Amino acid sequence: MTMPDWPLFGIRLTCRAATLQPVREQDLPELADALPSDVGHDPRLELFDDQSAAQNERRLFCQGYWRALGTWSPSSWVLHLAVRHAGALVGVQTLEGDDFAVMRTVDTASWLVPSARGRGLGVAMRMAVLGLAFDHLGALAAVSSAVVTNAASLGVSRRIGYRDNGRGFVAETTGRAELQHLRLTVDAWRSAGHGREVTAAGVEPCRRWFGA
Ligand SMILES: CC(C)(COP(=O)(O)OP(=O)(O)OC[C@H]1O[C@@H](n2cnc3c(N)ncnc32)[C@H](O)[C@@H]1OP(=O)(O)O)[C@@H](O)C(=O)NCCC(=O)NCCS
Q: Is the pTM above the cut of 0.95?
A: yes
Strand order in the sheet with 198-201: 163-172, 175-185, 141-147, 105-112, 88-98, 76-85, 18-22, 12-15, 198-201
82 touches ligand 1 (CB under 6 Å): no
Q: How many helices (H) and strands (E) does the chain have?
A: 6, 9
Domain spans in the chain, listed from the N-terminal domain onward: 7-210
User: What SS3 class is residue 190?
Assistant: helix
Choose the residue to mutate in 153, 170, 179, 194 for probing ligand 1, maximizing ligand atoms within 8 Å of C-beta: 153
Cβ neighbour number for residue 99 with a 10 Å cutoff: 12
Task: Pick the atom of ligand 1 nearest to 123's CA.
Answer: 12
Among 10, 13, 20, residue whose Cα is nearest residue 199: 13
Query: 114 CB less than 6 Å from ligand 1?
Result: no
Q: Are 135 and 105 in contact (CB under 8 A)?
A: no
Q: Is the CB of 159 under 6 A from ligand 1?
A: yes
Fold designation for 7-210: Aminopeptidase (3.40.630)
Max Cα distance, the chain (Å): 52
- The DSSP output letter for 75 is T
Per-residue pLDDT tens, the chain, 212 aa: give them. Answer: 778 899 999 999 999 999 999 999 999 999 999 999 998 777 778 889 999 989 999 999 999 999 999 999 999 999 999 999 999 999 999 999 999 999 999 999 999 999 999 999 999 999 999 999 999 999 999 999 999 999 999 999 999 999 999 999 998 878 899 999 999 999 999 999 999 999 999 999 999 999 99
Could you tell me if 47 and 56 are in contact, meaning their C-beta atoms sit under 8 angstroms apart? yes
